Amino acid sequence: MRKSLGLLLVAATVQLFAQRQSPELASLQKALGEAGNSPLEMILAIEDHLKEYPNSPERAELERALVKTAMDLNDDQRLVKYGESVLSRDPNNVQVLEHVTTALLHQGDKAHAELALEHAHHLADLIQATYQNDKFEPGGGAAQLKRKDDYDRGRARALLLQARAQGLLGHNPEAIQLAQSSYSIFPSVESARELARWLSAAGKDAEAVQAFAQAFTIAGLRSADVEGSSDRTRMSELYRKLHGSEAGLGDLILKTYDSTSAQLAARRAELHQIDPNAQLSSTIQFTLSGLNGDKLQLSSLLGKVIVLDFWATWCVPCREQHPLYEKVKSKFKDSGDVVFLAVDTDEDHSLVKPFLTQMKWAQNVYFEDGLQPLLQVSSIPTTVILDKKGQIFTRMIGYLPDRFVDMLTDRVNEALGKPRSIAPSQATSQ
C-alpha cells in the first residue's frame, strides 16, 4: 500500500531528528517500523507515542502528520481531534482549514457547527486575500483563467460551508441565502443540493424541488453522480407532496435543464473572455498571443501548412537548432501556403523579449497559451506540422543536427502534397 503524504512526513521528521540519538525518537522509529506500510497502524503507533511522550518536542510535527494522514483517509474523527491543534499554530493553512471545517460539519451538532462557521468565515477571508490583486481582465490567458476558476471555486466552497453551518445552527434563512450565493458564483451539484436541503427544512417545498432539479440536471450535464438518484427521489417526493402526483415534473426538469445549461454556458462565456482557448479541444481553434500583445487565430491560417516550433529560452538544443530552422524557413520564403510559427513555452514571458534581443533572433514569437498540453508536447524542441485542414500531419521530437534541414523540408513538402527532395534511403543515411 502506498504511504500517504502524512506518513511520508512522519518518516521525514523522524529521519531529521534521528541524529540526536534520542530515546524517544528511537522508540518512535521502532514503533513505525513494526507498523509496516499500514497507514492505520502507523497512526495508532504515533498516537501511542504521543500518549507516552505528551510533551514531545516533535509533537507539532507529529500532529501535523496525523492531520495530513487523516485527510488522506477521510478520517473525520482524527481531523477534529488534531486539526484544532494544528490550526492553532498555522491558522492560515487553507488546505487544513477546509478539511477540518468539513469534518466539524460532518459531526452534525451545534457546538461543532459554531466552530465550523468561524473557520468557514476565516477561509473566505483567506481566499479573498489570496486573489485581491487579480484583475481577471479579458485576454488574461490560461494562467488567469485558472486563477479565476480557482477563485470562484474557493469562494463558492467557503459559502457552502457557511451555509451548512448556519443550517445546522437552525438559521435557515441565512443558510438559504448563503447556498444561493454559492450557486450564483459557481453553479454546482453540491451548492444546488445544499440549497434544496435548507429550502425543504424551511418548508419551501416548491423552491426545494427547483433546487433538486438543478442538482439533478447539473449532474447529468457534467458527469455521472452517485447521489443523482437521491436527488431525483427527493425531488419526486416533494413534488408529489405538493401536487399529488408527478404530472408536470418532466416539464419542470426540462425547463430546469434549459436554464441550467444557459447558466453554465454563461460561465463558459465569462471564462472565454479571460482565455479564448478555454475548454478548446481543436488546435486550429486556438488563439495565440504574440510578444507585443497581438493575437493570432490559427483558424485564419486554414488552407496553409502550419509549422509550430516549440522552444524555450532555457533550452540549449533549441538554440543549436535555431539556425537550421531558419534554413528551412528560407526554402519556403516564397511559398504562400506555408507558415512557420515560433511558439515559446516559458512560464515567465518577461524573459523572452530580452533573450530574443540578446540572441538577435526575430521578434515574431507567440506564446503557447495552453497549446502545449493540448498537443502533449512534453519535451522541447518539438516541431508539430498541421496540414491545410488544421489537422496534425506529423511531429518531430528533438532534432538530429546533420539531418534536421532535410527531414523538416521533406515533411513540409509531404504536407503540401509534393514529392520528397531526397529518397527515404538517403535521408536515413545522412
Q: Which residues are catalytic?
A: 315, 318
DSSP β-bridge partners for residue 341:
308
Paired residues of 383 in beta bridges: 309, 396
What's the grid cell of residue 218? 447539473
Residue with cell 468557514: 120
Residue whose grid cell is 441565512: 174
The answer to whether residues 181 and 159 touch, using CB atoms and an 8 Å cutoff, is yes
Which three cell numbers mark 266? 454563461
Q: Which DSSP category does 413 fall into?
A: H
Label residue 406 exposed, middle or buried (CB < 10 Å: 0-12, 13-18, 19+).
middle
Query: Quick one: how many helices (H) and strands (E) in the chain?
Result: 18, 7
Can you tell me which residue has the cell 445549461? Answer: 261
* Sign of the C-alpha dihedral computed for residues 185, 190, 194 and 200 taken in this order: positive
* Distance, CA of 267 to CA of 191 (rounded, Å): 16
296 DSSP 8-state letter? E
Computed on alpha carbons and rounded to an integer, the radius of gyration of the chain in Å comes to: 29
- 290 three-class SS: strand
Which DSSP helix (H) or strand (E) runs through 288?
A: strand 287-289
The answer to whether 386 and 284 have CB atoms below 8 angstroms apart is: yes
Q: Which residues contact 187 (CB under 8 A, 6 or more apart)?
A: 214, 218, 260, 263, 264, 267
Query: Can the peptide bond before residue 381 be classed as cis, meaning omega within 30 degrees of 0?
Result: yes
d(Cα 280, Cα 370) in Å, to the nearest integer? Answer: 9
Residue among 115, 91, 95 at smallest CA distance from 105: 115
- Residue 245 burial class via C-beta count within 10 angstroms: exposed 0-12, middle 13-18, buried 19 and up: exposed
Pairing state of beta strands 305-311 and 295-297?
unpaired
At 336, give phi and psi (nearest 5°): -85, 0
The whole-angstrom separation of Cα 278 and Cα 265 is 12
